[in-house]
Amino acid sequence: MHPGSAGSIHTIKGMNPVLRRRLEDLGIMEGAQVRLKGMGPFHGPVTLECNGQLFAIRRREASLIEVKVS
């Protein structure tokens, strides 16, 4: 995805169960609509928007989330 693009989460696989549960508590799960807001420099965190909330996660964890771009 490129900054500003949006899509829906298709799958989340291989993620630490504790982190996955925390993301689900924020509404980040299969079928949720997300928008990429920005990417930190030097392989820093990825900032996403979902359900009107902004959150940042490491690129390693973000790479485990498969998104269908709309």
Calpha distance 33→8 (Å, rounded)? 4
pLDDT tops 80 at residue 51: yes
User: Average pLDDT for residues 42-52, to the nearest whole number?
Assistant: 92
Pair of tokens at residue 21: 């549960």
Supply the pLDDT for residue 3. Answer: 87
Three-class HEC string of the chain: CCCCCEEEEEEECCCCHHHHHHHHHCCCCCCCEEEEEEECCCCCCEEEEECCEEEEECHHHHCCEEEEEC
Supply the pLDDT for residue 43. Answer: 87
Domains of the chain: 6-69 (2.30.30.90)
pTM attached to this predicted model: 0.82
pLDDT tops 80 at residue 23: yes
Nearest by Cα to 67 from 11, 2, 4: 11
